[in-house]
Amino acid sequence: MSYSDRNESSFWVSYKKPIIVAWILFFSVIFLLAVLKRVQIEAGHEGVIVDKPFFTFFENGGVRSEPLDAGSKWLFYTSDVIMYDIRPVQHNEAFDDVRDGTITSDNIPIDFNAYIKVRPISGKTPKLHSSFGPHWYEQNIKELFRTSVRDEVSKTSMTALTTRQLNKDGKDILGEIQRVVLGEMREFVKAKSIDVEVMEVIVGKATPPEKVLEAMAETASQQQRSKTENERMAAEINRRGAEVERANADNAYRNSVGFSPEQFLKLEVAKKQVEAVQACAAKANCTTIIGDIGSQATIPLK
């Protein structure tokens, strides 16, 4: 055996185990990188893991009972992660009088929006996913919410939906609609074991169709004209009544002092003349002319 052969044999004997370990580690890393993947769970979210193993002999797979919290995780690449936003999410539902047939208690078609704010309960997203799937709102809550809102609106007048009015108990009518719908939705998710929290319900201001608005404006205009005319007539009646009262008072005074109508008229004229003289005297460079028919007298006042 040559010297080089002896050195090579000696090197292999000395480093055989470390070399084998290094190769094992290398292939292990390559294998793990091939079968694992890194997932990132954002803040305010939970990840529901659905395992799909290659070999069901060792594991059947399915939805894991514990969700992934925010952070970075390594999973087998055959596993799926469904993200659930556990923050409050507001769902907007538009109601159209033509499409949805939304009418008030006084048979007026209206358009409006309603909002429901919900969020999955933290830690229970795996159960929510297993029972109702990722579209739990659209498939289980949406239509009931729309029906509940439509039913309550149909019990309410158009005026109450477009203005802030109080019911006979002194409570806001629109607020009462929201309270009733909120209670119904909370009872529903509890009865169906849907692991979400219904936080808020808002019913927006209703808008009648354009033709209804035009008719309402015309009605309001007619009512205002009628009110103005009634007020004018009432003022005229009051004026006439005041004149009659004043005439009756003057006639009673004339009778009490024994004046004839002509004498009383001269007395009233004299009063007016005195008032005119006094008013003129309060002004500078004023001249008052007083006289009966056929004669005049000029009195200069300083």
Token duo for residue 202: 């808002």
Token duo for residue 212: 């209804």
In whole angstroms, give the CA distance from residue 236 to residue 294: 38
User: Residue 197 in contact with residue 119, Cβ under 8 Å?
Assistant: yes
CA angle, 232 then 233 then 235, to 5°:
65
Size of the chain, expressed as the number of residues it contains: 302
In whole angstroms, give the CA distance from residue 197 to residue 119: 5
Handedness of CA 268, 269, 270, 273 (dihedral sign): positive
Identity of the amino acid at 188: F
Per-residue pLDDT of the chain (302 residues; tens, 9 = 90+): 454 555 555 655 666 677 666 666 766 666 555 556 778 888 999 999 888 766 544 456 688 888 988 888 877 777 788 899 999 999 999 998 777 778 888 888 888 899 999 999 999 999 999 999 999 999 999 999 999 999 999 988 887 887 777 777 778 888 899 999 999 999 999 999 999 999 999 998 887 767 666 766 677 677 777 777 777 777 777 777 776 677 666 667 666 766 676 776 676 777 777 777 777 777 767 776 666 544 444 444 44
- Residue whose entry in the numeric block shows the structure tokens 């004023």: 286
User: Residue 82 in contact with residue 134, Cβ under 8 Å?
Assistant: yes
| 87-208 CATH | 3.30.479.30
Residue extents of the structural domains in the chain: 3-84, 87-208, 221-258, 259-302
Identity of the amino acid at 64: R
In whole angstroms, give the CA distance from residue 24 to residue 215: 86
In whole angstroms, give the CA distance from residue 36 to residue 162: 58
DSSP 283: S
> What 3-state class would DSSP assign to 35?
helix
